[in-house]
Amino acid sequence: MRVAILLAGRIKGWEYTKDALKSLQNKYNAIFFVSLNQEAADESTLAFCEYFNLTPEQIATIKSDLAAPTPVDPAATVTPLTPPATPA
């Protein structure tokens, strides 16, 4: 059996699970694909690629343009409910 494993978002801390991931890679002849939310490969990413023998075709770095959410004042957004008028 051969499997593909996609890791998306971030791989920070991969060192803590490297033995389990390596076991999956060996047991299932797994190939990793990585899509990261960052502008370029950092030291941790390069170490991951080296440890798991990833080629440049198996990794993509795409920085999202998501800005931090603007804090909302709940009082300003809450509309009080008014019971419907009852007929006389």
Give me the pLDDT at residue 74, please: 58
Report the chain (88 residues): mean pLDDT per 10 consecutive residues: 87 90 93 87 89 90 66 56 63
Give me the pLDDT at residue 42, please: 85
**pTM (whole model) above 0.75:** no
- Compute the half-sphere exposure of residue 77: CA atoms within 13 Å on the CB side of its CA: 4
Give me the pLDDT at residue 83, please: 60
Give me the pLDDT at residue 62, please: 81
The string of DSSP letters for 16-56 reads GGHHHHHHHHHHHT-EEEEEESSSS--HHHHHHHHHTT--G
